[in-house]
Chains A and B, each alone.
Chain A
Amino acid sequence: MNAKAIVITSGKGGVGKTTATANVGAAVAQLGDKVAVIDTDVGLRNLDVVMGLEGRVVFDLIDVFEGKCRLKQALIRDKRVEHLYLLAASQTRDKTALSEEHMQETVRQLLEEEGFDRVLIDSPAGIETGFQTAASAATGALVIVNPEVSSVRDADRIIGLLEARGIEEVKLIVNRIRPEMVKRGDMLEVDDILEILGVKLIGIIPEDEKILVSTNIGNPASLSDTHKQSAGSAFRDVAKRMRGEDAPFPSFEGNPTLFSGLRKLFGGS
């Protein structure tokens, strides 16, 4: 992706924005970029927890905006990966404490003065102020969608709003694909979702229990899980594609075979 400031968004809540931000951010840093991940979900901050950095938050984004600290002081360095930093949201304030101007200025400083290669902005759910503020500083977007009717509908709305903001580089991550359900025709395929939404794909992430385990211990799966078909590996692939490296997409295509068709005919599942 050409964009250096990228908002991670979905419209609908609970589809994996924060997980994606942590995992892609960590993986891009591991590949050599200097990365800042910013939590803009003021009042409901979670990115620090998913990354296992909650014990080290002293200053947050709002403190920077209000001049209580310098930007550098609010950047929490992740000790597991070189060049990975977190800028936490405030847990005790609300969305009105953020402004588009402040957000844009913070991202500008990170890129132009602090030498960051990428800034990933974790947006709150919804299409209101919180999302608008997060998107205001971005030149590209990762839209997270689950293969499920309400998530796809909300993603379509969010894509429209991103385009209205002039954000042209919009890439899609299809999260929580369950190959077994796709195979028996009970889950939207990635191709269906791409056809419906009309945006470019950058990642297919399988449903994976290890994501919950990794958030339990606060260690992004993209850093630790080497299994080929894991969500961690799939997030690493997103990071590679973001940097313009080659990473073929795994196939979860579910054209029913003759055998599964016959099985269905005879009442099997």
Chain B
Amino acid sequence: MFNFLKKPSSKDKVKQRLQLMLAYDRAQFAPGKMEELQEELIEVIKKYFPLEDTDYDVTLERRDDHLVFIANVPVQQ
């Protein structure tokens, strides 16, 4: 009821950190590798589409039992 007034507990923070940490661990990704992958991926996509010159977003996300690779890459219209 008063959840919106409350600071997130340290438990919520550690849970979030762990989920992200383990997502990388399980995919055997060193955190720096993700940026490397993003750059390569953008280069490949650029061969086929003109891209918006904005921030790209490449992440691993947990969805139920799966780890999902998500790339958010705006394309020029």
Contact = CB atoms under 8 A, between A and B. Distances in A.
A196 B9 contact: no
Contact of B25 (A157, A189, A192): A157
Nearest to B10: A186
Contacts of B2: 258, 261-262, 265
Contacts of A261: 1-3, 6
Interface residues of A, number: 22
B41 interface: no
A192 B21 CA distance: 15
Interface string B1-27: 111011001111011011101100110
Contacts of A157: 25
Contacts of B21: 153
Nearest to B19: A196
Contacts, number: 46
Given A156-B22, A258-B1, A185 B17 contact: no
A153 to B, nearest CB: 6
A185 B10 contact: yes
A166 interface: no
A187 interface: yes
Given A160-B26, A185-B9, A149 B1 contact: no
Contact of A156 (B5, B6, B17, B25): B25
Nearest to A152: B18
A72 interface: no
A258 B1 CA distance: 8
Nearest to A160: B26
A98 interface: no
Q: Which of B9, B12, B25 has the most CB of A within 10 A?
A: B9
A93 interface: no
A264 interface: yes
Contact of B11 (A160, A187, A258): A187
Given A153-B21, A153-B22, A192 B6 contact: no
Interface string A179-193: 000101111110010
Nearest to A192: B15
A265 B21 CA distance: 31
Interface of B: 1-3, 5-6, 9-12, 14-15, 17-19, 21-22, 25-26, 65
Interface of A: 149, 152-153, 156-157, 160, 182, 184-189, 192, 196, 198, 254, 258, 261-262, 264-265
25 contacts: A149-B18, A152-B18, A153-B18, A156-B22, A156-B25, A156-B26, A157-B25, A182-B11, A184-B9, A185-B9, A185-B12, A186-B9, A187-B11, A188-B14, A192-B11, A196-B19, A196-B22, A254-B11, A261-B2, A261-B3, A261-B6, A262-B2, A264-B6, A265-B5, A265-B6
Given A153-B22, A185-B10, 10 more contacts: A149-B14, A149-B18, A152-B18, A186-B11, A196-B18, A196-B22, A261-B2, A261-B3, A262-B2, A265-B5
